[in-house]
Amino acid sequence: MTRIPGAPGTPGASGTAGATGRAAARPRHLVAVLAFDQVQLLDVTGPVEVFTTANAHGARYDVRIVSAAGADVRTSAGVRIGADSAADTLPGRLGTLVVPGRADWRQAVGNLTLTGTVEALAARSGRVASVCAGAFLLAEAGLLDGRRAATHWQLAAELAAAYPRVSVEPDPLFVRDGRVTTSAGVTAGIDLALALVEEDHGADLARAVARQLVVFMARPAGQSQFSARLVPREARHPALRQVMDAVGADPAAAHRMDDLARAAGVSPRHLGRLFRAETGLSPGQYAESVRLEAAQALLEAGNDAVDTVAEQAGFGSAESMRRAFQQSLGVAPTTYRARFRSTARVLDPAP
């Protein structure tokens, strides 16, 4: 049985190392992480590690792993997790409820005890968050009706079909709608938890936690779950894979439809049909998504002028790149670069 380092009942649970007197005077923020059999291990441990690490930098989170009846659970990885208590024995009002998921979401939502526990805990919580397939449990409890939500990209269509009152966004790492935040798959739970820490204590503390956990960066909410360059591995038709590889290898090239089709040995019309059938995008839209990703990487890596980044990424002009950023990410390139190390999604329309 695994006890999570920093959880109540283990060394370091108070998390007061490095805390100031002012921080120690603040009331503790109760975070309940709901565990159940066959839950994904990292869905639980990722957020727990973020919140408990934040305590070493001045936060005051009281993190409790709970199960419906207080029993220990066996995760999908076969690792047992010890529950601190039954869910209904938690004291008073909760600051945050975190609901992880399991790969077989139908089994989870079919467990009336589990969904009832989610509903009861959510009613006592200031804010509610889910990781990966945990969104299905929130949806089953009615917590996502009329809200936008994210989940693992492979499950997005299933969530939308099963719960039509939920506005599912398949791409973002996490989506915040009111008091409910839902995240994409597995490791995105770490990004979500960092965003909640930033909401409570500011970007500096969240970045300190990310550095201690050796997280590459605190990724913004609107960042895509997956790289456009990974899509060719999913393409079935060899001509489509060839074109995608060519675009990914040199985003700054012109990539005219006729040239791409000729190189792949198909007609432009057939290439367009292949793209739409397998990616849902036109060849031009796919090329722009790769260029956008290239521009993001260039902005993150250095201080090149926006005009230079636009040229290197293949946009042709800074204005074209700005429009692409605004449409896809809701931010201007300069804002993206300035706030790169923040988990917040910036809505500043400044050029």
User: Hey, what domains does the chain have and what are their CATH numbers?
Assistant: 21-212 (3.40.50.880), 228-338 (1.10.10.60)
Phi, then psi, of 180 in degrees rounded to 5: -110, 130
Instruction: Kindly tell me if the per-residue pLDDT of 99 is higher than 60.
Output: yes
Q: How far is 350 from 202, CA to CA, in rounded Å?
A: 22
Phi, then psi, of 39 in degrees rounded to 5: -65, 150
pTM: predicted TM-score of the whole model, two decimal places: 0.65
Instruction: Kindly tell me if the per-residue pLDDT of 6 is higher than 60.
Output: no
Q: How far is 345 from 340, CA to CA, in rounded Å?
A: 10
Contact 100, 131 (CB under 8 A): yes
Mean pLDDT of 302-315: 87
Look at residues 149, 219, 216, 214 and name the one whose alpha carbon lies nearest to residue 184. 149
Residue that has been written with the tokens 């792949």 in this structure: 264
- pLDDT bracket for residue 230 (50, 70, 90): very low
Q: 65 pairs with which residues across the strands?
A: 33
| pLDDT recorded at residue 10 | 38
| Biggest CA-to-CA distance, the chain | 70
Instruction: Kindly tell me if the per-residue pLDDT of 225 is higher than 90.
Output: no
Listed in order, strand segments (DSSP E) in the chain are: 29-34, 61-67, 73-74, 80-81, 85-86, 94-99, 125-130, 148-149, 167-168, 174-177, 180-183
SS3 57: coil
SS3 62: strand
Tell me which of 88-102, 169-183, 230-244, 249-263 is least confident: 230-244
Contact 206, 191 (CB under 8 A): no
Tell me which of 86-100, 215-229, 269-283 is least confident: 215-229
Mean of the per-residue pLDDT values for the chain? 84
Q: Which residues contact 160 (CB under 8 A, 6 or more apart)?
A: 166, 168
Residue that has been written with the tokens 């005219």 in this structure: 256
Instruction: Kindly tell me if the per-residue pLDDT of 20 is higher than 60.
Output: no
Look at residues 69, 116, 60, 112 and name the one whose alpha carbon lies nearest to residue 89. 69
Instruction: Kindly tell me if the per-residue pLDDT of 317 is higher than 50.
Output: yes
Q: How far is 100 from 33, CA to CA, in rounded Å?
A: 8
Mean pLDDT of 15-36: 70
**To the nearest whole percent, how much of the chain has pLDDT over 70?**
83
61-67/29-34 β-pairing = parallel
SS3 142: coil
CA end-to-end distance (rounded Å), the chain: 53
Who wins on pLDDT, 230 or 337? 337
